[in-house]
Structure 1
Amino acid sequence: MSTPKTIVVIGATGSQGGSVVRRLLQNPSYHIRALTHSPTSATSQSLASKGVEVVSSDVNDPSTLGPAFANAYAIFAVTAYWPSFPTLGRHGAGEEELQQYKNIATAASKVEGLKHFVISTLPSAEGSSGGRIEVPHFDYKARAASWVKEQLPGLWEVTTEFWHGKFPFASLFRSPGSQGAYIVPLPGNHDTLIPYAGDLHHNVGVVVEAIINSGPKAYGKVAVLATDYVTWADGYKAIEKLVPEKRIALSKIDREQFIKIWREWGIEIADQMAWNDEFTDWKALAGERFLVFEELGINEGELVGFHAALEGLKDKIF
């Protein structure tokens, strides 16, 4: 029996990394090394009890990454924008995320024999709109991919980008005096098609495993996790159908009023929705680099789509 190949998973206790770990645990060909800054946490200890090698590492500290990447066959890298957003702001959180990716990629480029570098990024709103629309939690991830391509061409040769669509969860606000109705204020077009990732907790692992298994055919490509394209209106209608005793009304709100309510967070989301209104087709955004599920060997039925994922969230929506 051959020795299992080491797959390093950054963010193994989060939603994306956790999905990758759960999927790869089912594959005896791989040994999983989970990187976390909290190796003694309950989640980390749970992973260790299942045979995962849990390693203490910090993407903000490059000195911890080299040893953590030793002998890696593949690395799955994801960073987190939103935790730093309240303190660093839109661009500050993005700059931090970009530096984290630089730290990760620089360390990965020094791993002898690395066969795959899979990075969780997103399309560039700034680039696709010709600079008219900035969405930092998209743009800095896209800049990270460009940096790898320009500065670490050897690593780029074994790199695959992974874009995931929206997670099907609802932002609902009870309307006072309405006897239990909910209202959803949206600064975007209600009929805009939104790419949904389906069940993110399941699907990410399926796609990332398929990328690693695909080897060279995935190099330089973009795997887009979008199981369904659903409009905002139809998405909330699906929630009403799922929970018929609830009433949901979508309300068009202009950008200034949305920002007045949500402040800097409102700017980020309003700009994302403005970009969504213009750029709905992520396959087109990926262009010739787009990887279809069939190329990755993902069979019909392996991914959990929007409506099935929503069913699983039924008890958490309201």
Structure 2
Amino acid sequence: MSDKKIITVFCATGAQGGAVARALSKDPDLHVRAVTRDVNTQKADKLKSLGVELVQCNTSNPASVRDALSGADGCFIVTHTDFGKQNSFEMEVHEGRQIADACKAMRVGSVVFSTQRSSRVLGLQTRHMDAKAEIETYMHDLDLPLTCVMVPCYYEQFMGLFKPEKIDNNKYILEIPMGTTPMHLIALDDMGVVVRQIFNNWQTFIDKTIGICGDVLTIRDVAAILTQVLRPKTFADKPLTVNDYRNKKDFPGVSDWANLFTFRMRVDQIFNIHHTKMIHPQMKSFEEWARENADTLHNVL
């Protein structure tokens, strides 16, 4: 281990952090330190089986965060949005600042942060985007050795947040208020590989913001691919407005997601599939991912 670079990964049992930890664990020259609030979970056990070091950390405790970064050459940071809390924005910004301060204090040499653009330019409130944009500004003010990765929606969200609704035997609809505006998407595992490439080519990417992307599809395109891959199931795009989505759906953060869709439709995005493929040429399209995960998709649906 003494010859290996130590990379600390925050939120390592979450979607992005987990993908990054798994990707880094495949590099024999890296020692991965996975930070989580609870090391006694199935997700934590899976990381441990990959040879990843597990570290329990309370990110609201500065000393705990500094311990997680002790001796680290680099770290990947993604902050958590607790949509169920009224003060989730303030909580996330506080968490991000605590980690940033600890990176500065511990002199971490390379910091990769999963960021987003602020929706406030349109007068919107999108807490998970706005908090990350504010944290990024704070990190720049600290003059951290920083690369920012802007991550779009994941393919995997079509098994979760964007899961198609069953309306009849083998008939499903997708209710995502993007109209004819294409969505930028990526597989979580590919996102992890991109971050690994950034750490391994640090001087190329330092001080850059990279909008990564694996595919660009309308919701109608997504429905057509799912129909082709998952027959006899069929899928259709059911158009609805952002306000319809806000009023019909019932889950914590629905207004934030509605505002995200508004922002993505009204503001030019920086996600770039061409640049991402230059970093990770084996990146999967949505169709390739769907075919590889067809059995899981069938079971989830």
When normalised by structure 1's length, the TM-score is 0.83
Shift of 1:94: 2.1
**CA separation in 1, counterparts of 2:42 and 2:164?**
31
Shift of 1:49: 4.1
Pick aligned residue for 1:258 from 245, 252, 257: 245
**CA separation in 1, counterparts of 2:248 and 2:280?**
44
Structure 1 equivalent of residue 98 of structure 2: 103
CA-based RMSD of the aligned residues comes to 2.4
**CA separation in 1, counterparts of 2:119 and 2:67?**
35
**CA separation in 1, counterparts of 2:218 and 2:22?**
30
Give the counterpart letter for 2:32 in structure 1.
Answer: I
Contact 1:12 1:18 in 2 (8 A): yes
Shift of 1:187: 3.3
Q: Is 1:172 matched with 2:174?
A: no
Shift of 1:206: 0.9
1:232–1:74 Cα change, 3 Å = same
Task: State the SS of the aligned residue for 1:292.
Answer: helix
Structure 2 equivalent of residue 267 of structure 1: 255
**CA separation in 1, counterparts of 2:90 and 2:61?**
15
Structure 2 equivalent of residue 85 of structure 1: 83
Give the counterpart letter for 1:292 in structure 2.
Answer: H
Shift of 1:279: 2.5
1:36–1:179 Cα change, 3 Å = closer
Contact 1:19 1:205 in 2 (8 A): yes
1:46–1:167 Cα change, 3 Å = closer
Per-residue displacement from partner, 1:274-301 (whole Å, max 9, x unpaired)? Answer: 11212353248xxxxx99347xx63522
Q: Is 1:136 matched with 2:127?
A: yes
Give the counterpart letter for 1:282 in structure 2.
Answer: I
Shift of 1:80: 1.8
Task: State the SS of the aligned residue for 1:238.
Answer: helix
Q: Is 1:231 matched with 2:218?
A: yes
**CA separation in 1, counterparts of 2:171 and 2:257?**
24
Task: State the SS of the aligned residue for 1:260.
Answer: helix
**CA separation in 2, counterparts of 1:280 and 1:194?**
12
**CA separation in 1, counterparts of 2:289 and 2:30?**
28
In terms of mean alpha carbon deviation, does 117-126 or 64-73 score higher?
117-126
**CA separation in 2, counterparts of 1:270 and 1:20?**
27
**CA separation in 2, counterparts of 1:104 and 1:269?**
26
Q: Could you tell me which runs of 5 or more consecutive residues in structure 1 were left unpaired when the two chains were aligned.
A: 285-289
1:49–1:252 Cα change, 3 Å = closer
Pick aligned residue for 1:300 from 281, 285, 295: 281
Give the counterpart letter for 1:85 in structure 2.
Answer: F
Structure 2 equivalent of residue 313 of structure 1: 293
1:12–1:291 Cα change, 3 Å = farther
1:66–1:308 Cα change, 3 Å = same
Shift of 1:93: 1.7
1:186–1:17 Cα change, 3 Å = closer
Task: State the SS of the aligned residue for 2:191.
Answer: helix
Give the counterpart letter for 2:29 in structure 1.
Answer: S
Structure 2 equivalent of residue 125 of structure 1: 119
Contact 1:222 1:291 in 2 (8 A): no
Pick aligned residue for 2:183 from 190, 194, 214: 194
**CA separation in 2, counterparts of 1:63 and 1:179?**
55
Contact 1:180 1:246 in 2 (8 A): yes
How many equivalent residue pairs? Answer: 292
Task: State the SS of the aligned residue for 1:109.
Answer: helix
When normalised by structure 2's length, the TM-score is 0.88
**CA separation in 1, counterparts of 2:241 and 2:285?**
31
